[in-house]
A and B are shown apart, each in its own frame.
Chain A
Amino acid sequence: MSDANKNVPNGPVLSRRRFLVATGVLTAGAAGLAACGGEDGSGGGAVEKTGTLAFGVTSISDYLNPLSTTSSRVHWMTESVVESLYTYDAALKSVPLLADGEPEISGDGLTWTIKLKRGVTFHNGDPLTAADVVATFDFVTDPKSTSDWTTYFVGYVKKATATDDHTVTIKLTTPFGVLRSHLTNLPIVHREFVKKTGTTMGTGPFSVGDIAQGRQVSLKRFDGYHGTKPTLTGITFKAVPDPATRMVNLREDKIQIMTDVPPESIKLLEKSSDIRVHEVAAPKDLVTYFVANKKPFDDVKVRQALAHAMDRKGVRDLVYGGSADIAQGAIGPVAEGHDPSLKLYGETPDIAKAKALLAEAGLSSLDFTLMVTSDPVLKNVGQVLAQGWKKAGINCTLETLDISPWVKKWATGDYQMAMTGFDGGFGGGKTAFTLLGALSSQNPLNFGYKNPEVDELLAKAWATTDAAERAAICKRINGLVAKDAIAIPPVYPKLIVAQRTEISVLDEKQMSVSRIDVAPVRAA
């Protein structure tokens, strides 16, 4: 002990009494600050005081160009900056925004002519012209651009040209009626910003301000906006990767909106009267893929056995805390073609049926690998599914990969079954274009699934301009692919967004197409 005492450094020693006094003062101080904060908070909150809204997201991408990706994480930041030719109104009907009326379509359906609204300007004061629309189309129809948007246009759109300053002509290779929906989603970017990655410029009510790479993006109000002016002076997107920290920030009014709310935390957030949680059915799909030209999944009975032994209820309740709908086919509840009457597979594993199907396929057991992306939610989904399958004698090995190696293996068919999450709202809107597209036998991402009826129906679905007709066709396709068990998502997850009640209520209709429309937000 005496030796130990020698090592005590010279300087003030914190006695027990001093420690208690110090902690008492600090605690009282903290309580006082908290009390002040609480009273002030009830008086309107940070938005009323500052005029700016803080939006907490999981990450800030280096790509701020909405033309390079259809990811919600980028589009949530840019949906107030850029606008499309058409937009969803309050009833989710597609109506003109930058376009001056509906497109004129030639008799053969191969030429679309679109007039542009006059008097619309970009954030630098340049007027919106046909050249900007053409530059946008040139980018998204160029496979070398490696943009997500190429999936929606390459092979269908031949060329977009400017007939005059305010008229654009789009030439198609084949009738492509679903283009009308794509035009509601594709942002029109200033022609000089089409290829830029770190920033963007559009005609929206906010322009891009300061960017702290990877941490924060600030938007500022654009006073020359052609539509209804927002009351907010700015919006700040903050990267808060840890969900618990995001929730604490929301409770402390450091952010007013948070995305990616962990389903298990909904009840905890709802305990606070200052917070409202939105759980909205949206195109936030779990997508499954099979390599159907190799054993064991070349046999439809094996895939059906897997579908019957799926623990859909387990995934919904354990992983999503009930914030998901039981799935029966590729198309979820908000997309065209969803069939609520489809009841092919049970909520809980039907072991007897699965075993009988495996026996019909000549198998007594089944071993396979499910490749999932390394997202905690997807890992949990994979684990619950594996638990259910095991009861039917199906042994599933879970292969968890980061997104890049996952995509590499997926694109080359180097897997047996694959699963990932897909936010399709900003790309496909209400259509099931990307969900069903890969099921065409002509699609390079289809590995062995061929159903001539599905091929024929897909061609009709994308050709028609009639949304109701397209929905009916997609509904038939959904039934066929569900029966063939080639696309068997266990559930349709909901979009979960939390907001402070001191700001106006976010529009859940817009959320059902993945939009979190913050431009009209004001202090409540």
Chain B
Amino acid sequence: MDATTTLPAPPRASARRRALPRMSALTWTGIALLTLFLLLALFGPVIAGDPNARAGEQLAGPGLRHVFGTDHLARDLFARTASGARVSLLVALAAVAFGLLVAVPAGLVAGYFGGRWPDDLIMRVLEAFQALPLFVFALFVIGVTGTGDSDIGPITVPTTAKVVLLLGVGFVPYFARVTRSATLVEAQEDYVDALRVLGVPRRRIIGAELLVNVLPPVLVQAFLWLGIAIFAESALSFLGLGIQAPQPSLGNILGDATRYLLLGAWWYSIIPGLVILVATVGFNLVGDGLGDALDADGRG
């Protein structure tokens, strides 16, 4: 115990942090796009009201009364897009959070035991999951459980939760690999050897010391995957496998809109499509910027 008290503190990520490097123009663009998306998702539904209420004429183009126009059931497209953006964002956040919750412990353990049987076991299982493309996996699950709410024993799993779980499970292998890579590097550090020599329990080394030091690259990766999650949720809902009507999501709005493209209702497809683009590009550029900042920090 005496030795423990005299041990120099391990290099925390915060301690290594220096002044942020200058952000590139692309990162600023990403921040601007992300701000637009978040404003729409967070405040749009408050301003626009009920996304399912009939608001005017069917398929009216954008104008003063309806900024984004109306849809085929005469609902305000701004209200639906804003509400859909919020739903897509929440699903993406929940899916990424679920993915992290499962992947980070798995990646930490695999990385800590790098090359030994726990590493092999965890990584082979995750690789088996990774071998199955996300959409094939989603099609399989939705094919078995149907597109609506599903009853698993006494529990009813709502469609939204099902989409979150599907995406989250799909993300686990990717997050776990990043966590494992960072842990493999971190586990070679002197302070980890010192902790082992001093008899600090393995679970404390992994759960407390390694975790805080591998989190930054993992969180940057998670930020990048938020954009992918929004895109994946939209794709699932577009195909009718995700969020079901009347609850709007960016994907199911776009899915409905395809029937009206030939009729000249361009706004119905273009606007939700642009919102998906803004969100995915925004998350990607900001994620890249964060990654660059982290690399610069690491080099410094």
Residues in chain A within 8 A of chain B (CB atoms): 243-244, 247, 262, 264-265, 268, 314, 317-319, 374, 376, 379-380, 382-384, 386-387, 390, 398-402, 404-405
Show 9 residue pairs from A and B whose CB-CB distance is below 8 angstroms, ordered by the A residue: A265-B263, A379-B245, A382-B245, A383-B73, A387-B54, A390-B53, A400-B148, A404-B146, A405-B146
Q: Which of A243, A387, A402 contacts B146 (CB 8 A)?
A: A402
Q: Is the CB of B262 within 8 A of A265?
A: yes
Q: Which residues of B contact A380 (CB under 8 A)?
A: 72-73
Q: Is the CB of B52 within 8 A of A383?
A: yes
**Is B213 close to A, CB under 8 A?**
no
Q: Which residues of B contact A400 (CB under 8 A)?
A: 147-148, 244-245
Given contact pairs A264-B72, A383-B73, A400-B147, A243 touches B246 in the complex (Cβ within 8 A)? no
Closest residue of chain B to A267 (Cβ to Cβ) is B263
Q: Is the CB of B147 within 8 A of A244?
A: no
In the complex, which residues 198-250 of chain B have their Cβ closer than 8 Å to any Cβ of chain A? 240, 244-246
Min C-beta distance of B74 to chain A, whole Å: 6
Min C-beta distance of B198 to chain A, whole Å: 48
**Is B47 close to A, CB under 8 A?**
no
Q: Which residues of A contact B147 (CB under 8 A)?
A: 374, 400-402
Closest residue of chain B to A321 (Cβ to Cβ) is B58
Main secondary structure of the interface of A (DSSP, over half): helix
**Is B260 close to A, CB under 8 A?**
yes
Given contact pairs A244-B262, A380-B72, A387 touches B240 in the complex (Cβ within 8 A)? no
A-B pairs with the 5 shortest C-beta distances? A383-B246, A405-B146, A401-B148, A400-B244, A379-B245
Q: Which residues of A contact B244 (CB under 8 A)?
A: 398, 400
Q: Which residues of A contact B149 (CB under 8 A)?
A: 399
Assembly CA distance A268 to B260 (angstroms): 11
Q: Which residues of B contact A264 (CB under 8 A)?
A: 72, 259-260, 263
Q: Is the CB of B245 within 8 A of A398?
A: yes
**Is B261 close to A, CB under 8 A?**
yes
Min C-beta distance of A271 to chain B, whole Å: 11
Q: Is the CB of A386 within 8 A of B58?
A: no
Residues in chain B within 8 A of chain A (CB atoms): 52-54, 58, 72-74, 146-149, 240, 244-246, 256, 258-263
Q: Is the CB of B148 within 8 A of A387?
A: no
Assembly CA distance A319 to B52 (angstroms): 15
Assembly CA distance A374 to B244 (angstroms): 9
Assembly CA distance A188 to B262 (angstroms): 43
Q: Which residues of B contact A404 (CB under 8 A)?
A: 146
Q: Which residues of B contact A382 (CB under 8 A)?
A: 245-246
Q: Is the CB of B74 within 8 A of A247?
A: no
Closest residue of chain B to A405 (Cβ to Cβ) is B146
Q: Which residues of B contact A376 (CB under 8 A)?
A: 256, 259
Among the interface residues B58, B260, B262, which one has the most CB atoms of the partner chain A within 10 A?
Answer: B262
Q: Which of B52, B256, B258, B259 contacts A387 (CB 8 A)?
A: B52
Q: Is the CB of A318 within 8 A of B73?
A: yes
Q: Is the CB of A398 within 8 A of B246?
A: yes
Assembly CA distance A400 to B243 (angstroms): 11
Assembly CA distance A382 to B74 (angstroms): 14
Assembly CA distance A152 to B71 (angstroms): 42
Assembly CA distance A265 to B261 (angstroms): 10
Assembly CA distance A398 to B149 (angstroms): 11
Closest residue of chain A to B240 (Cβ to Cβ) is A374
Q: Is the CB of B73 within 8 A of A384?
A: yes
Q: Which residues of B contact A244 (CB under 8 A)?
A: 258-259, 261-262
Assembly CA distance A165 to B54 (angstroms): 64
Assembly CA distance A374 to B146 (angstroms): 10
Q: Is the CB of B262 within 8 A of A399?
A: no
Closest residue of chain B to A402 (Cβ to Cβ) is B146
Q: Is the CB of A386 within 8 A of B246?
A: yes
Assembly CA distance A8 to B146 (angstroms): 47
Q: Is the CB of B262 within 8 A of A318?
A: no
